[in-house]
């Protein structure tokens, strides 16, 4: 089975460096027309430079692929709309959207200014929302779409000094979980990548000696499969890095059921706390109502 993207149009945000660059070049090499979006800013989101996006486009063109550079700021409503308008005018469609753009402003919560918190959330979370919202009608119209959100281990499990980043990265999982329901009848899948890569952002965390093993090119295959026609899974969270690939699920313990018609006290919970928090036999739920229905079962007792 050969996976290709001939005739497909893809947007990759934050594609001037690192993971985005790797994703964009791979898709273009396999036949996609790619929009390389990047404002060309510093790791904290400041500044603007057309160079990074254009360099990636030049590399794609030199290899025989088709790509255009876009430097609109997807963290703003106007920027996301301008990006989508350019795609509509040039191709009239968008088949693949990889929400990859991000910045870092690490600091302990106690010392963090609100501007640094909201600034990170605007790029990672609202940027993903805005571009997806602009592109969603095109995908519905063509009855096809493959969307990627990008989370991280910090969002899934927490990391000291990254409350802003972790908050935004967990938020996009909630976005995915809702959109996967709305996209099903339009053949739109929405999945999330949890990458571990030696990029500009990753370089602030990982030691130098492991950076060569954390090449972005070892992450991109996960994205490449998720955005292919062959993959119809939706709502997946896939960890990828250094050749390791895994699926992440949010699960709920079996818990306990106390009679809903009777009074329940905190002392009763204290006594049963071990059973409530016992994760053996924990199960995932495909949607919110499935989890709620589990609670309703207690009302029939």
Just list the catalytic residues.
165
φ/ψ of residue 188, rounded to 5:
-110, 120
- Distance between CA atoms of residues 294 and 301, nearest Å: 12
Contacts (Cβ under 8 Å, ≥6 apart) of 197: 18, 19, 214, 215, 216, 218, 219, 241
Angle between helices 77-90 and 127-142 (to 10 degrees): 30
Report the SS3 class of residue 59.
helix
What tokens appear for 120 in the block?
Answer: 């990170």
* DSSP helix/strand/coil, 167: helix
Token pair for residue 171?
Answer: 């938020």
């Amino acid at each position: 089975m050969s996976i290709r993207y001939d005739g497909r149009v893809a947007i990759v945000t934050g594609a001037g460096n690192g993971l985005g660059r790797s994703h964009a070049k791979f898709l273009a090499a396999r036949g996609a027309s790619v929009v390389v979006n990047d404002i060309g800013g510093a790791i904290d989101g400041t500044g603007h430079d057309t160079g990074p996006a254009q360099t990636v486009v030049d590399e794609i063109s030199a290899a025989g692929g088709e790509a255009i550079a876009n430097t609109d700021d997807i963290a703003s409503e106007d920027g996301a709309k301008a990006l989508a308008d350019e795609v509509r005018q040039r191709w009239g469609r968008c088949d693949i959207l990889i929400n990859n753009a991000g910045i870092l402003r690490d600091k302990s919560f106690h010392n963090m200014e609100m501007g640094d918190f909201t600034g990170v959330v605007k790029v990672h979370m609202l940027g993903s929302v805005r571009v997806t919202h602009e592109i969603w009608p095109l995908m519905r119209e063509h009855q096809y779409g493959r969307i990627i959100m990008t989370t991280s281990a910090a969002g899934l499990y927490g990391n000291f000094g990254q409350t802003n980043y972790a908050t935004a990265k967990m938020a996009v999982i909630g976005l995915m979980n809702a959109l996967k329901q709305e996209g099903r009848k339009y053949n739109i899948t929405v999945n999330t990548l949890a990458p571990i890569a030696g990029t500009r952002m990753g370089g602030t965390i990982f030691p130098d000696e492991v950076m060569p093993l954390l090449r972005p090119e070892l992450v991109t295959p996960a994205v490449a499969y998720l955005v292919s026609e062959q993959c119809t899974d939706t709502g997946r969270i896939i960890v990828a890095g250094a050749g390791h690939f895994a699926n992440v699920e949010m699960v709920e313990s079996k818990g306990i059921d106390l009679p809903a018609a009777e009074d329940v006290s905190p002392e009763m919970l204290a006594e049963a706390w071990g059973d409530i928090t016992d994760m053996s036999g924990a199960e995932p739920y495909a949607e919110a109502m499935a989890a709620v229905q589990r609670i309703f079962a207690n009302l029939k007792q």
